[in-house]
Amino acid sequence: MGTTKFIFAGAAAISMLASSAFADDLTGMVTRIDRLNSTISIQQTQKGTVGGSAGGAGALQEYKAKDAAMLDAVHAGDRVSYSATDNNGTGTLTKLQKQ
């Protein structure tokens, strides 16, 4: 019984850390926009100088826009800053601004 509680506590802590990572402002490049389904794919730009490489590409993420009007100001290829939250494994875009 003690091991089960420990595992559930660890899983809860990890999920809280993962969802808080989405809360920060991120930067990236728009790779695809689906205005009919209000989704956008963004290639996240890595921050810092890990490994000494400059401006490497990060993970490609697809987000559902909280408001479809958010997608009107951007196009594929635009560099953006954005914020997102995680809703049961689905990323929801809460802020999107063209750089």
Q: Domains of the chain, with CATH numbers?
A: 2-98 (2.40.50.320)
Per-residue pLDDT, averaged over 24-36, amounts to 92
Q: Is the pLDDT of residue 30 over 60?
A: yes
pTM above 0.75, yes or no: no
Q: Is the pLDDT of residue 6 over 60?
A: no
Round to whole Å and give the CA distance between 45 and 28. Answer: 5
Counts for the chain of helices (H) and strands (E), in that order? 1, 5
Lowest mean pLDDT among 27-31, 41-45, 62-66, 88-92: 88-92
Q: Is the pLDDT of residue 21 over 50?
A: no
3-state secondary structure (DSSP) of residue 95: strand
pLDDT of residue 25: 86
Per-residue pLDDT, averaged over 55-67, amounts to 81
Per-residue pLDDT, averaged over 69-98, amounts to 92
Q: How far is Cα of residue 71 from the mean position of the Cα atoms in its chain?
A: 15
More confident residue, 54 or 2: 2
List Cβ neighbours of 93 (8 Å cut-off, separation of 6 or more).
40, 63, 64, 65, 66, 70, 82, 83, 84
